[in-house]
Amino acid sequence: MDKVILKNMRFDLPIGLDAWRRFRKPQPVLITIEAQPTSTLEFAAAKDDVNLSMDYGKLYKIISSALKAADPDAFPTVRALISLLVGLVPDCGVLDMEILLPKALPHSTGGVLYRFQVDKSELEIDTSSLAVTVRQIACACIVGVNPQERIYKQTVFVDISVPMVDPAVGVGALEEHYTAALHDMVQTVWERVEGSSYHTIEALATAVAQIVTANYGHTVAKVRIDKPSAIATIEAAAVEITRSKTFFENKDFWKVKLP
């Protein structure tokens, strides 16, 4: 499987909502593209000829020129940006794309990451998928079983990953609403985690998954919680869970326990 990769192309684009929920405000965007050409790179290697490859230098210039020349209203949604980029990559069988908005949310120190893949290798139909991850929502809460952990708050970092279903991304107005809902969801998670007092990050992660699925309608959510202060000699201890909306139909994990 041969690939041509452009990693972390940086632009300032007015895409969707910024951290303060304003439209048409430029924000930093990091774009990574991994393209599998319809033909392998074997011939380019054998002849040592860039003209027989997917020239990443030319590809970058095409992408950079298109984004710099774009109308300020060209990207009201992430889908609009993705659609443009897909059209700029020629002779591609499978295209993977990551779009990182590092400053899209006030409480997220890791930003908002969109992962997109389209497979054009089948003759009859293109298949695609899109998921969003909110990375490192910084929260201070009571969590742990040790006596000192029941007294002092400590910082945890919450990652939330959900698939973006077609109705949410197919129409601009719907995606704008979806983006606003993402802001609302992260704000709710931050407030609830800050006020919680669990003994385990397993229970806390499950409670967050309940908010994401039951309160905000996502069919499935992957939640990771990092606890940097858990063990002094390592960077962090963490758990990661995946829960569906149906898992919570007859359960309630959101209990804000007292110390």
Tens place of pLDDT per residue across the chain (259 aa) = 888 999 999 999 999 889 999 988 999 999 999 998 887 777 677 777 777 677 889 999 999 999 999 988 888 889 899 999 999 998 888 999 999 999 999 999 999 999 999 987 776 667 889 999 999 999 999 999 999 999 999 999 999 999 985 443 343 444 444 578 899 999 999 999 999 999 999 999 999 999 999 999 899 999 999 999 999 999 999 999 999 999 998 777 665 554 4
Amino acid letter, 182:
L
Task: Please check whether residue 122 is in contact with residue 35, taking contact to mean a CB–CB distance below 8 angstroms.
Answer: no
State the pairing for strand pair 154-163/220-227: antiparallel
Q: Where does residue 51 rank: exposed (0-12), middle (13-18), buried (19+ CB within 10 A)?
A: exposed
Name the 3-class secondary structure at 257: coil
Per-residue model confidence (pLDDT) at position 257: 52
Measured in whole angstroms, the distance separating CA 108 from the mean position of its chain's CA atoms is 11
Amino acid letter, 91:
D
Residues pairing with 30 in the sheet: 10, 100
DSSP string, 184-221: HHHHHHHHHHHT-EES-HHHHHHHHHHIIIIIT--SEE
The ranges assigned to domains in the chain are: 1-104, 135-259
CATH no. of 1-104:
3.30.1130.10
Per-residue model confidence (pLDDT) at position 171: 39
Question: 22: which residues sit within 8 A by CB, 6+ positions away?
Answer: none
* 180 sits in which H/E element: helix 172-194
Q: In angstroms, rounded to a whole number, what is the distance separating the alpha carbons of residues 72 and 26?
A: 9
Q: In angstroms, rounded to a whole number, what is the distance separating the alpha carbons of residues 154 and 141?
A: 6
Per-residue model confidence (pLDDT) at position 258: 45
φ, ψ for residue 217 (rounded to 5)? 80, 10
Per-residue model confidence (pLDDT) at position 50: 72
Fold of 135-259: GTP Cyclohydrolase I, domain 2 (3.30.1130)
Task: Please check whether residue 135 is in contact with residue 111, taking contact to mean a CB–CB distance below 8 angstroms.
Answer: yes
Helix ranges, 72-135 (H): 78-88
Per-residue model confidence (pLDDT) at position 172: 42
Same fold, 1-104 and 135-259: yes
